[in-house]
Structure 1
Amino acid sequence: MDRLRIGVIGLGWFGEIHCDTIVGVPNLELAALCTRKPDRLAELAKKYGVKKTYRDYRDMLADPEIDAVSIVTMWDQHTEPAIAALEAGKHVFLEKPMASTVADCNKIIAASKRSKGILLVGHICRFNPRYRMAKQAIAAGKIGKIVAMSSRRNIPAAWTPEILNKIGPIVGDAIHDTDLMLWFTGDRIVSAYAQTVDVRGLKFPDIGQTMYRFAGGASATLETVWCMPEKTPFDIDERLSIIGTEGIIHVQDTFPNLGIVSKDKLHSPDTTYWPEFDGVRGGALRDEFAYFATCALNGKTPSMGRPEDAAAALEATLAAEESARTGNVIRIGGN
């Protein structure tokens, strides 16, 4: 078999981006769609020319012609479809955050170890070429031992009113930088402290400021502001600095690597994660799906997007949220 027949479970805005991306990956075939909303199901089935549609993911998993699934439901609805898909022997691409509790992460990991299918958790930043190059430089010893890191991952307020009623900025976005920091250091986080700011009175606060301590002594600060002004001319202000004993690495993405000035505005669109060209998504998400497909077709366990790493990132961000609620430093892993 040279192509993986994949179904997408969950057809919100990011589920649609998954579909846009899958159709551009040569060794993937978008073979099925699943959502509980019949109008949305019909809309996207027509857009992509997909004949197999389901309103219950269990029916999709019962189809022997479906080799893999991409799960893009809300984070607190990941556990049951992920475990069911793995038990059905399907390959699973599971969006981040892996689950809403560490206990559920562990259940998914246990199911993956029993399954003939592979499991990859979609921590897309590891497929950003700038972070990959940073990891390569760190592994080559170019900056010595990491002693401090700082990140910024801020997005405009227009993006977030609906999202902030489902997930907060620390688990929703700082989890990316948490995962990167764990990857760069090869270390574990032993404590978290955080503060949040509620600007708009939504279910979750708009701003999260987090600090970590790593077992090896390094410290890290992470900024996530989900309420940049409505007219901010870029989709994300994303930066990460890594300070070592012998050098420094600085990553800046996405602003201002492309600026488009029209008669109405200045805009700096995403050119890294899922940029769209001729109706097909490229960038890091396409690379991530291509890697997933290659691993699955070759029976290889992924070394990127490992569920154990995703669980560690979730544990740290949940600890940070607990710190923000209680005002206490939260110890992780009994330390």
Structure 2
Amino acid sequence: MPPDQPTVVIAGVGRFGALHARVWTEAGARIVGMCDVDPDRVGAVAARFAVQEKDTLLPRLLDRVRPDAVIVATDEASHAELAITALEAGCHVFVEKPLALSSDDAWRIHATAGSVGRQVVVGQISRFAAPYARMQRSVEQGRVGRLCALRLRRDFSRSWYLAFGERVHPVWESCIHDIDLAIAFVNEPVSRVMAIQSRAASEAAPSVVSALLEFEGGVSATVESAWLLPESAPQTLAGALELSGAIAAEMEALGLEGVLRQRLLGDNLVEWTNAGSFVPDLSLWPDDDGVVGGALRREVDYALDVFRGRRAPDRIPLHQVCWAVATAEAVVESLHHNKAVHLTRDPRDIEVSS
């Protein structure tokens, strides 16, 4: 990949894909193509970023344009096939979370990347949020002694659930963040999962999920997510991402010699105006004087360094992401059968316990 201005194609230019176009451009990449299933949308976003090449199909676009990397920001069900298409075309790939909706597909991407000698970076943005990154370093440095347990909670506005909660199982939309964080902290695959749910908001999909994860070395983690925050909750997303709503997340790491605690939503900066109550996002993708910063920019800078060969893919190892996909798959399986699910050492094999 050229060190000066790498070329990228954006696959999927919805709300988050358009944000990626902005951030990758600000980070020094050149957008040479865009594709989206909606021809009107891709035309409008391409015009905004002065991109000439556009299409509704990625393979057809890659026949005309050979970028250094492809950013996959489409709907979740299409991630695996588009990632493999891009890899087989000789491109590095950045995939928004989740990497795939099955462990078989996740490991297929892993194998393809290895066979073609290209890198895959997955947009598990929480790894780049400063509080989580600091906590992980503290655990790795032994500041809490032997790690015993993790507690993770992430809640979202109910309006988001009503808008797209039926598009994909909420485990893939919300719990995958905290499953991935738990795996990053422990650096082991999960061996057993037990999960329960509530469908109080709609029978179409669970609005509350609680999962207990057991790692091979004995560490336990609780992952909880609810899509029930009311409209009156303080707005946390504004500016760089045009999405009104709230994310309230907390994490604890418990060791034999200490405990670490953090909240993604804090009250260090609060805005009370006639328009409502706001707790501006200063962690994920803040708009800093016209430039997107925070975790998203750090994530993109990391991906560019990996693609350029300037650093190893050590912040988001692809095998850990595959473990996370297998764990999320097991959580969904546990919810479906209302039983514990055991994962073997090879997380592509899942067995539901009796």
* Change in CA separation of 1:39 and 1:281 when aligned onto 2, cut-off 3 Å: same
2:287 corresponds to: 276
1:298 correspondence with 2:309: yes
Match of 1:7 among 6, 9, 12: 9
Contact 1:254–1:272 (Cα < 8 Å) also in 2: no
1:255 correspondence with 2:266: yes
Contact 2:6–2:68 (Cα < 8 Å) also in 1: yes
1:114 correspondence with 2:111: no
Provide the C-alpha distance between the structure 2 equivalents of 1:319 and 1:116, rounded to a whole number of angstroms. 30
The residue matched to 2:339 in structure 1 has which SS? coil
Which amino acid letter does the alignment assign opposite residue 280 of structure 2?
Answer: P
Aligned pairs, number: 334
Match of 1:19 among 18, 21, 37: 21
Provide the C-alpha distance between the structure 2 equivalents of 1:214 and 1:36, rounded to a whole number of angstroms. 40
* Change in CA separation of 1:224 and 1:95 when aligned onto 2, cut-off 3 Å: same
Which amino acid letter does the alignment assign opposite residue 45 of structure 2?
Answer: L
130-139 vs 254-263, greater mean Cα deviation: 254-263
134-143 vs 254-263, greater mean Cα deviation: 254-263
1:327 correspondence with 2:329: no
Provide the C-alpha distance between the structure 2 equivalents of 1:66 and 1:59, rounded to a whole number of angstroms. 13
* Change in CA separation of 1:43 and 1:277 when aligned onto 2, cut-off 3 Å: farther
Which amino acid letter does the alignment assign opposite residue 140 of structure 2?
Answer: A
Contact 2:199–2:208 (Cα < 8 Å) also in 1: yes
1:47 corresponds to: 48
1:308 corresponds to: 319
* Change in CA separation of 1:95 and 1:204 when aligned onto 2, cut-off 3 Å: same
1:141 correspondence with 2:142: yes
Which amino acid letter does the alignment assign opposite residue 143 of structure 1?
Answer: V
Provide the C-alpha distance between the structure 2 equivalents of 1:47 and 1:277, rounded to a whole number of angstroms. 21
Provide the C-alpha distance between the structure 1 equivalents of 2:286 and 2:161, rounded to a whole number of angstroms. 20
State how 1:90-101 maps to structure 2 within 5 Å. 90-101=91-102
Provide the C-alpha distance between the structure 1 equivalents of 2:333 and 2:113, rounded to a whole number of angstroms. 28
2:238 corresponds to: none
The residue matched to 1:78 in structure 2 has which SS? helix
Provide the C-alpha distance between the structure 2 equivalents of 1:256 and 1:167, rounded to a whole number of angstroms. 32
1:76 correspondence with 2:82: no
TM-score, normalising length: structure 1: 0.95
Q: Which segments of 5 or more consecutive residues in structure 1 lack a partner in the other structure?
A: none
1:67 corresponds to: 68
146-155 vs 169-178, greater mean Cα deviation: 169-178
2:162 corresponds to: 161
1:16 Cα offset (Å): 1.6
Contact 2:87–2:113 (Cα < 8 Å) also in 1: yes
Contact 1:7–1:66 (Cα < 8 Å) also in 2: yes
215-224 vs 294-303, greater mean Cα deviation: 294-303
1:299 Cα offset (Å): 6.2
TM-score, normalising length: structure 2: 0.90
1:305 Cα offset (Å): 2.3
Contact 2:32–2:65 (Cα < 8 Å) also in 1: no
Which amino acid letter does the alignment assign opposite residue 309 of structure 1?
Answer: Q
Provide the C-alpha distance between the structure 2 equivalents of 1:317 and 1:18, rounded to a whole number of angstroms. 25
1:123 Cα offset (Å): 0.9
1:230 Cα offset (Å): 2.0
1:59 Cα offset (Å): 2.2
Identity of aligned residues (%): 28
* Change in CA separation of 1:64 and 1:37 when aligned onto 2, cut-off 3 Å: closer
State how 1:148-187 maps to structure 2 within 5 Å. 148-187=149-188
Aligned CA RMSD, in angstroms, stands at 1.7
1:269 Cα offset (Å): 2.7
Which amino acid letter does the alignment assign opposite residue 194 of structure 1?
Answer: A
Q: Which segments of 5 or more consecutive residues in structure 2 lack a partner in the other structure?
A: 236-245, 346-350
Q: Which runs of 4+ in 1 moved over 4 A?
A: none
Give per-residue Cα distances to partners, 1:259-286, cap 9 Å, x unaligned: 1111231111322111224554221111
Provide the C-alpha distance between the structure 1 equivalents of 2:201 and 2:137, rounded to a whole number of angstroms. 41
1:105 corresponds to: 106
Contact 2:11–2:35 (Cα < 8 Å) also in 1: yes
